[in-house]
Amino acid sequence: MTRSFDAHTIVWRGVTIEIRYEERWLGTEGPFSTAHLELHVLSPDKAPLPVTDTGYRSHFIAASVIAEAGGPVAFVQAWLDHEAETKAWKEKEAAARQMTLF
């Protein structure tokens, strides 16, 4: 089976991210279609995101969830924004800023 994916590049809070989205990862359609979403930080290299400490994330999800969110770009932006509001991410950001002072 030939893989087919869409690729998009976004900048989120100064981090350039490539989004790769394969809507029919298992080759199925309909309400049980599984999609594959990949996030890869392009710049700065391996910068952490609220959903990954390594700059890379592979995520399987129902294709209908991505469609309901308005597509892979809208889904990823909303996902990152939501996770950036967590206490853990805010603490990580604060620690990173503090380290730059010394």
pLDDT digits (tens, 9 = 90+) for 42-76: 999 989 999 999 999 999 999 999 999 999 999 99
In the predicted model, what is the mean pLDDT of residues 27-39? 83
**What is the residue whose two structure tokens read 């994330």?**
57
Q: Is 34 within 8 Å of 63 (Cβ atoms)? A: yes
Alpha-carbon distance of 53 to 93, in angstroms, equals: 12
pTM of the model: 0.87
pLDDT digits (tens, 9 = 90+) for 73-94: 999 999 999 999 999 999 888 8
Instruction: Map out the domains of the chain as residue ranges.
Output: 6-99
Strands (E), 13-102: 15-22, 34-43, 56-62
